[in-house]
Structure 1
Amino acid sequence: MATLLLCATAAADEGAVAELPAFTFRGRLEWVTAVGGSSPRDTDQNPRNVLGAPQAAGGSELRPDLRVEHGSILQLFARPRLRVQVTKSRAASEWQAEEREASAEWLELYGAWRVSDRLALAYGLQNFQWGPAELASPSNRIFHETGFLRDPLYTVRGKHLARVNVSLGSAWSAVVLAEIEPNGAEPFVAREPFEPKAQAKAEWSAPDGGGYLGVTGGAGESSRGWFGEYGAVSLTDGLSIYADAVHQSGSRAWYPVDGAGTVSFRQTGTGRGLRTLALGGVRYTFAGGADLRLEYVFDEAGWTEAQLALGARAVSFASGAPAPESLAAWLEPGFEIVGRQHAYASLRLPDLPPAKRTSLQLRYLAALEDGSGAAFATASFDATDSLVLFASAMGTHGTYRGALSRLLRATAVAGAVVSW
């Protein structure tokens, strides 16, 4: 990081701006309202929905998007989220009392300073991601987002980052970022305390726009380091292939362990050898704008089919309520997607009738080892220039211990987005 700053400081002397323009303000506001329901799977792990998964919900939220700029030199971004929600669940064959919640949070709140054409600094609550894939970005170990359920309700909560962006000519760029404190969200690995992390990446882009390649590396304050790579290559005007991977020594995820007939969850993979999480894909963009993707994900540290079955046994209510820590580890073991091998297909269809105001996104995710799967569809209709109507639905298939079918049978939601 010191090297990058030294190089960038020299660049700042060359490209310093003599005079700053006045401050300007820009903003927009989204009002999102939706209602929906879900059908939890009735299993020994959640018999008659004793875990209280919501089966009916309605809510409304405001999403201001505000920006203050001092030319292109200084910028302040503020994206709060104000939400009210009502949920109702049916447990043990009886409807439970409604649960009401009102909350306010920051999705992003940060400042950015463009020191020169080669150097930019940012600090605060940010959502910073990269990678060519749609389902996940393995090489980004600070954000563990998956895009399977992405629709108008989908949001990403930013993380407290200090970030340095350096541009080294038209082809090379580099980023150093450090997550310095928690953002209040639930941990990626259940019950794991927050640890500061730092990651750097360097990227080369082909001058003709035909592809790019990046390498990354990072470490946490107490966990072992990692390194990764990502890239994409255009084969024709509409066809491209891409990959994204990370390699890390051991895993901090929870694994089910059978000890003399009693199953519990332990972090047994922390001292093991190099583990790889990799994604490969192909994308074709049609002349009319339709977009098709096929992706494959392999997680060497993921649960096997036998571990999925063992984990289900650990949280079965058949012989009494399982321990809360076991339920937490089963629900959030510490994987982008539970399981080892997955195939993903996505088709986006824009500009559909009527009047080319409708778009449709179809996605299917399959767990190749246990045969479970999930299908997701979301459609939106631009009713006016400021009003968008949308509907989303998901359905799963597989056994009660399947990687993608162990929790829910189906969900559905409909809503509207008003923008100003």
Structure 2
Amino acid sequence: MLRVGLTGGTGAGKTTAAGRLAALGALVVDADALAREVVAPGTPGLAAVVGELGHDVLAPDGSLDRPALAALVFADPGRRRALEAITHPLVRERRDALVAAAAADAVVVDDIPLLVETGRAAQWPLVVVVAAPLEVRVRRLVETRGWAEADARARAAAQASDGERLAAADVVLDGAGDPQALRTQVDRLWRERLLPFEEHLRHGERAARPARAELVPPDPTWPAQAARVVARVRRAAGRRALSVEHVGSTAVPGLPAKDVLDLQVVTADLATAQEVAGDLRDAGLVQPPGEWEDELPDGRTEPKGFATNADPARAVNCHVRPAGRRTEDVLLLRDLLRAHADERDAYAGLKARLAAQPHGSVDEYAHRKGPWIRAALERARGERS
């Protein structure tokens, strides 16, 4: 099973994307629909809302007067938080029951308007955002839903900013055009990413990646991509993780690298490290079979836990290590390369030469970097002492 978070500003096209995902076979859990269900007439949820916000939010027939409620809570952040404190737990309980009944190979899409606002993005291995400019969203709300322009802008202002949503997004779908263009994007996402991601995750297998080292120019979005994975790993590992950090070449601005995010999780001991590595499926990572070891710069080996990506579009190596000299050296090398442009440039040149040479595997390429890394660590220790 793969869980996907879907969100977007009101009027961006999220409903169109959700409908297409449902047509393709996803189990779409609509938070808005569940929010209506848990405050239907006669429910404890409705009674709690009335008790908190007053009878003015009721229609003459005893149901919730949604326009009146919206006008009240979107104009008052305190009342909006009070409403959310009532409805969000009820919605999550109902959602969990639906997911528990889903098939083992399901792609479960949580359609949640306030996914970013509630700070819950790390709960999903993949977050999809449907985006459209503010003026497009306001126009749609006025023309298709009959909202007053002031109400549409107030709703947008009460939600996350475009920047906040994009920071949480692993996938951004362009909802500014016509609905068919958005459906076409959804079809491609389903075919090329969601279905293989689910299959790899269910079978516990890493998504395919190049057998040899293929360097790419530095990507300024690597840190933001890594931050999302770090948050997921930290949530899955809980207190067992002493630290979770973005390490390796993609953590060094300006350094060409393989397009692989390296993370280091530090634990108290090896048994905990191996346990954590096996518990990262909620973060979209799987533990390949076999025993995993680090090859140290001096040629020795050291056991560790290891998890890697099931997502075919985002390669990740998550090294889970007990605290010690090895974990310190990983950070020492990263910070040396960040702090000294001459060291970074020398390492970049070495990587380019080694990647261009014949090599049978990425492991062989990494092994050949050992002497340079060993010398760089000695320089870094000398600088620190």
Higher relative contact order (CA 8 A, sep 6+): 2
Over alpha carbons, which structure has the higher Rg? Answer: 2
TM over 0.5: no
Q: Compute the TM-score of the two structures, normalised by the length of structure 1.
A: 0.23
Q: Compute the TM-score of the two structures, normalised by the length of structure 2.
A: 0.24
The structure richer in helix per residue is 2
